[in-house]
Structures are given as structure tokens and as C-alpha cells.
Amino acid sequence: MNAAFRLGVMVLAVAACGAVSALDLQGHRGARGLAPENTLAAFEWALAIGVTTLEMDAAVTKDGIVVVSHDPALNPAITRDATGRWLPARGAPIHALTLAEVQDYDVGRIDPASDYARQFPDQAARDGERIPTLAAVFAKVKALGADKVRFDIETKIDPTRPIETLAPEPFVKALLAAISAAGMTERVMIQSFDWRPLEIVQRLAPGVPTVYLTARGSRFDTLADGTWTGGRLLKDYASVAQMVKAAGGSIWAPHYHGISERDVADAHAVGLQVIVWTVNDAADAERLIGWGVDGLISDRPDRMRDAMQRRRIALPAPVPSR
């Protein structure tokens, strides 16, 4: 792992009152529980709360611009056209649209009639928010003076839908170029459920930490076969942690429901950090902190800070809005 990155994550601060440090608090899609996901408003809100890392997703437009979007195609639950109408169904792939076309759409609120809205009742609307470029996110962070904040960027590539995105190699090259152009190489890590892009990152930018996302749900199981893991099969390894380590990973990012305290210990034993997603309940956070996880990805970083404080863990400093 990049030495500067490890130092930044592991030595956040040693606060008064005997608090200890070493927990990476990541604002998921900014602070999705409070502001429209993956928008400049959400990232600014997360910084104002105080996080170690901004977690986000990357896509690449038809004209080669890296933008920040969780979905490879326009999501009807959060997307309105120029007339203010909600998209009636899943929209065009971002890869099929130019940046100008992508930014014609307003993503500043959730469709109140959607199931998605019921998941995030506290999210405040910010009408007029557009899907931002990654460069714009970096520029916003710089303008706010958030010099210590880091970035966890997910490559939104789905191996089961290859026509919706760039192939892994050109995708990674575009992403690394955008990161380098902003001078942020020392402050990023790159994560993916599809492990192929991570192998490319290791080859092209070996100093950038790679984060291996896994899911073990009934509807989404990335370890069921080799589709998401670059051909690797779990049956060939003693544990998921050993599989991630063999793939060259430095960080394992499982869903918090899918791990045990023993899994965390096993990961640490082979030299991996464990950053879990997506934790929104303070009681869950306290349990996971007790198990020794290295980081929490959360839609509600405010709640995670409450859990950290109760566990006497030093809190990342808020960055005031300007």
C-alpha cells in the first residue's frame, strides 16, 4: 500500500480525552442519507460533517470524460429531464451520452413515488444538481481547503453488461488520467466489485491502493463463480481474505452483514485492511468497531461519528462550507 495513504488512514488524529485513532470514516456517495447522491452538494455536506474519505462512483461519457455516477445508465429514481419530468424507465448508458447530454439532467432529488425515496426520508433536495465530473469534485474539495480528505473511487463496470461501459483497460486509463491531472494520485484508492479493473490499476499505477468489493446476497453474489472475480474461484482458497490477498489487494470491502469477527481477524492476519459497506446504524457501527474493522462506509456519517465518539475514537475534522 502507498505509504502516504497508509499514514493518512491509520494516523488520522489523536484527540484529547484519551481517544484513539485509526478508523477510516467514508461518506458513501458523499452523504446519501442527507443529500442527493454523488453530487457536489453531497460531498460538501459530508465534508461539513467530518469524514476521512469521500466514497464515490465513476463512469466515463461518450466523449471520454470521467463523471461521478453510481449507475452506468441514468437512474429514473433520481433523474429529471429538462422539462422537470422523471425518466419513465432506466435511461441511456452514460457511455452513450456526451458530458453535455449527461448534464442536461437534474439529479438533485429523489422521485417521491419511488421505493428509493422510502429508503432515504431524510435526504434534502438540492434542485439543479447535475452529475459532476470527477475533476469538478476534486476542484470543490480543493476550494474548500480539505487537504487531508481522501477519495475512494469505484469503477462502475458490470461484467454481465459489457456494452454499457468502456472495457476495463480504457476505463481505468481514463480514470487514472483524471486523477493524475488533478494531482490526486497520492490521495485515492480504487475499488470495484469487478476485479479486472483492479488488476489493471496494479499494473499501471502500483502505488494506488486497490479495494476488493464483495457481496454475498441472494440476488447479488460476486463470489458465486468467477464472473466478478476475474476468473478466481473461492473454492480454491481457504477464505475470501486469502483470495483477495492472492489477487493483489490491500483492502477487502465486504458488506457488513456478510462478515464475522473471525473474518476480520483472518483478513488482518494476511495483511489486509477491512472497510465495510454500507453501515447506517450506530449500533451496527459500534459492533463492527469492536471487531476491529479499519473503516466504515456510510450514507449517514453523522451517525457513524456518534458511534466513534462513544468508542473513544478520534473524529475527522469537519471542513466548513464556503
Closest CA to 291 of 255, 264, 257: 264
Which position has the grid cell 468497531?
289
Residue 34: CB atoms within 10 Å: 21
User: What is the pLDDT, as a whole number, of residue 218?
Assistant: 92
Q: What is the pLDDT of residue 33?
A: 98
Predicted confidence at residue 20, as pLDDT, reads: 54
pLDDT for position 38: 98
Q: Per the structure block, which three cell numbers stand in for 149? A: 480528505
Q: For residue 322, what pLDDT is reported?
A: 84
3-state DSSP of 113-126: CCHHHHHCCCCCCC
Q: Strands 53-60 and 150-155: what pairing?
A: parallel
Angle value at C-alpha 55, between 54 and 58, nearest 5 degrees? 120
Q: Are 300 and 31 in contact (CB under 8 A)?
A: yes
> Which three three-digit cell numbers place residue 55?
466514497
pLDDT at 6: 45
* Assigned C-alpha cell, 256: 457488513
| pLDDT at 196 (0 to 100) | 98
Indicate the burial class of 146 (C-beta count within 10 angstroms; 0-12, 13-18, 19 or more). buried
Q: Which domains does the chain have, with CATH numbers?
A: 3-72+90-99+128-310 (3.20.20.190)
Nearest to 166 by CA among 157, 179, 178, 176: 157
Successive 10-residue mean pLDDT values, the chain, 322 residues = 46 42 91 98 98 98 98 98 97 97 98 96 98 99 98 97 96 98 98 98 98 96 98 98 98 97 98 98 98 98 97 96 87
C-alpha 161 chain-centroid distance:
20
The pLDDT value recorded for residue 19 is: 57
